[in-house]
Amino acid sequence: MQVTLPAIAFGGSARACPIPAAPDPWATWFRAVALGGAGRYAAAAGELGRLDVAGADDVLRSFALSTRAAHRRQAGRHHHAVADDAQALLLAAGRRRADPTPVVEERRTAALCDALTGLAADNLGRGMFGASGRLLDRVDQILDAQGRESDRNWIWGGRTELRSHWVRAELAMFTGDAAEAGRHARAAEAMSAACPSIRHVIKTDLIAAAAAATAGDVRQAGARASRVTDQAIEFGQLPLEWAAAKLLDGIGAGEQWSGRAQQLGAQLKLQGAAMD
* Section 166-177 average pLDDT: 98
Pick the closest to residue 124 from 65, 184, 73, 190 (CA basis).
73
Q: Please write down the HEC assignment for all residues of 41-110.
A: HHHHHHHHHHHCCCCCCHHHHHHHHHHHHHHHHHCCCHHHHHHHHHHHHHHHCCCCCCCCCHHHHHHHHH
> For helices 158-174 and 102-125, what crossing angle results, to 10°?
10
pLDDT score for 36: 96
* Section 138-161 average pLDDT: 86
Q: Decide: helix, strand or coil at residue 194.
A: coil
Cα within 13 Å of Cα(36), Cβ side: 24
Q: List strand residue ranges (DSSP E) for the chain, in order.
A: none
Pick the closest to residue 200 from 12, 6, 1 (CA basis).
12
- Please check the confidence at residue 110 and state whether its pLDDT lies above 50: yes
User: In this structure, are residues 94 and 57 in contact, taking their beta carbons and an 8 Å threshold?
Assistant: no
User: In this structure, are residues 84 and 113 in contact, taking their beta carbons and an 8 Å threshold?
Assistant: no
> For helices 198-214 and 178-192, what crossing angle results, to 10°?
160
Q: What is the percent of the chain with per-residue pLDDT over 90, rounded to a whole number? A: 82
pLDDT score for 275: 60
pLDDT score for 1: 40
pLDDT score for 2: 57
pLDDT in tens, 202-248: 999 999 999 999 999 999 999 999 999 999 999 999 999 999 999 99
* Section 135-143 average pLDDT: 96
In terms of pLDDT, which residue wins out, 99 or 215?
215
User: In this structure, are residues 83 and 73 in contact, taking their beta carbons and an 8 Å threshold?
Assistant: no
User: In this structure, are residues 7 and 34 in contact, taking their beta carbons and an 8 Å threshold?
Assistant: no
Q: Hey, which CATH number is domain 5-270, 1.25.40.10, 1.10.1060.10, 3.20.20.70, 3.30.450.20? A: 1.25.40.10
What distance in Å separates the CA atoms of residue 9 and residue 32, rounded to the nearest whole number? 8
* Section 113-133 average pLDDT: 97
> What ranges do the domains of the chain cover?
5-270
- Considering the chain, what is the average pLDDT of its residues? 93
Backbone angles phi, psi at 186, to 5 degrees: -70, -40
Rounded (5°) CA angle 120-118-259:
95
pLDDT in tens, 50-61: 998 878 899 999
pLDDT score for 146: 82
pLDDT score for 98: 66
- Please check the confidence at residue 94 and state whether its pLDDT lies above 90: no
Query: How many CB atoms within 10 Å of residue 1?
Result: 3
Query: What residue type is assigned to position 92 of the chain?
Result: A
Query: What residue type is assigned to position 59 of the chain?
Result: V
